Amino acid sequence: MNPPATLAWQGTHLALLDQRRLPDEVTYLACRSVDDVVEAIRSLAVRGAPAIGIAAAYGMALAEQTGESSAAAAERLVAARPTAVNLAWAVDQVRAGMERGRAAIDTALEIHADDIAMCRAIGEAGRQLIEPGCHVLTHCNAGALAVSALGTATAPLYLAHADGVPFHVYVDETRPVLQGARLTAWELGIAGIDRTLICDNAAAHLMGQGAVDLVIVGTDRITANGDVVNKIGTRGLAILADYHNVPFYVACPTSTFDPVTRAGSDVPIEERSAAEILEPIGLSGDIPVKNPAFDVTPEELVTGYITDRGFSTSVAIFDSVTDSS
């Protein structure tokens, strides 16, 4: 079985699976304006780099439909979250289409459809890494819920599972928003994939016991030098994997590669609210909090990139991508 669709264009509005309520409730938000889409992206009702790109593309279609200036809409959509490059990429695609006289909705629908094929290509590129009996560790949610189908980091898992390969996945809970516990564990469970939830800080212990054979994560941006920007905690995992000789793989579509930005240190890292950390543990606001949503994994800690162009140990796989539009 598959998890419910992350997002769907309904002719006049965008329906978004409200990921803040998962896994307890499966409800859809109806976005009828650019404001609705911006708010859904900011509040993590829709999240995951490719999914927020697709949502923003539909946001541009809503701007066209409601007569809002596309320049103003683009600016607000891109600013909704600063780290994932897919957001700007998708908005740029729609704007470039509009300049050629193409309706925004046509480009948005195309981006959405391409995304499905892209996930399958990533799955095929990584499928051979999932050997019978292996234990995979993943962080955050780079699954079907973060994209439109199969996901990125999870695509090799879904394809291997469909082929009947037996394997097991450790799912990091992913503090503070718990995308691993609430989303990845849920969607892998729906698919019938054997998975175990762990605290983020259990990964070192498990690697030390030899219980993890490989790590696969998604990413919000890969910079020109191959650095990987992904959910906070990814860098720590990569350092641990290096220490324990565990291969560390990054799965992503070409739209996540940012050839214009030199290195991870040049990427704006989103700071989120103190409430995200304090509220779930019942604390109030008088403790100073720092809550960066992402971190940077240096290229030298990446064993390989699993992409819609194939598998490579080098970021050179993206060489022909020359700009973000």
Backbone phi and psi for residue 39, each to the nearest 5 degrees, phi listed first: -65, -40
Q: Is 218 a binder of ligand MRU (CB under 6 A)?
A: yes
Name the one range near ligand MRU by CB under 6 A: 47-55, 66-74, 204-212, 297-305: 47-55
CA angle 114, 116, 118 (to 5 degrees): 70
Q: Is 184 a binder of ligand MRU (CB under 6 A)?
A: no
Residue 169 Cβ vs ligand MRU, minimum distance, rounded to whole Å: 15
Residue from 293, 296, 302, 315 touching ligand MRU (CB under 6 A): that is 293
Nearer Cβ to ligand MRU (48/59): 48
What Å distances lie between residue 269 and 92, 231, 295, CA to CA?
21, 10, 7
Q: Is 200 a catalytic residue?
A: no
Task: Report the alpha-carbon distance of residue 45 to residue 79 in Å, rounded.
Answer: 16
CA angle 280, 53, 89 (to 5 degrees): 130
Name the one range near ligand MRU by CB under 6 A: 42-50, 96-104, 184-192, 257-265: 42-50
Backbone phi and psi for residue 197, each to the nearest 5 degrees, phi listed first: -85, 135
Task: Report the alpha-carbon distance of residue 213 to residue 244 in Å, rounded.
Answer: 10
Residue from 187, 200, 213, 220 touching ligand MRU (CB under 6 A): that is 220
Angle separating helix axes 70-79 and 34-42, nearest 10 degrees: 10
Residue from 146, 169, 238, 241 touching ligand MRU (CB under 6 A): that is 146
Q: Is 182 a binder of ligand MRU (CB under 6 A)?
A: no
C-beta of residue 143 within 8 angstroms of C-beta of residue 110: no
Residue 109 Cβ vs ligand MRU, minimum distance, rounded to whole Å: 20
Examine residue 23 and say whether the peptide bond preceding it is cis (omega within 30 degrees of 0): yes
Residue 319 in tokens: 């060489």
Nearer Cβ to ligand MRU (152/223): 152
Q: Is 57 a binder of ligand MRU (CB under 6 A)?
A: no
Task: Report the alpha-carbon distance of residue 104 to residue 163 in Å, rounded.
Answer: 38
**Interface positions, 69-98, toward ligand MRU (CB under 6 A):** 84
Residue 50 Cβ vs ligand MRU, minimum distance, rounded to whole Å: 5
Task: Report the alpha-carbon distance of residue 184 to residue 191 in Å, rounded.
Answer: 11
- Number of residues located near ligand MRU, criterion CB under 6 A: 18
Q: 215 forms bridges with which residues in the sheet?
A: 137, 248
Task: Report the alpha-carbon distance of residue 187 to residue 97 in Å, rounded.
Answer: 34
Q: Is 112 a binder of ligand MRU (CB under 6 A)?
A: no
Looking at 200, 213, 220, 227, which residue is catalytic? 220
Nearer Cβ to ligand MRU (146/203): 146
Q: Which residue is nearest to ligand MRU (CB)?
A: 218
Q: Is 297 a binder of ligand MRU (CB under 6 A)?
A: no
List residues binding ligand MRU (CB under 6 A): 47-50, 84, 140, 142, 146-147, 151-152, 179, 218-220, 230-231, 293
Catalytic positions: 220
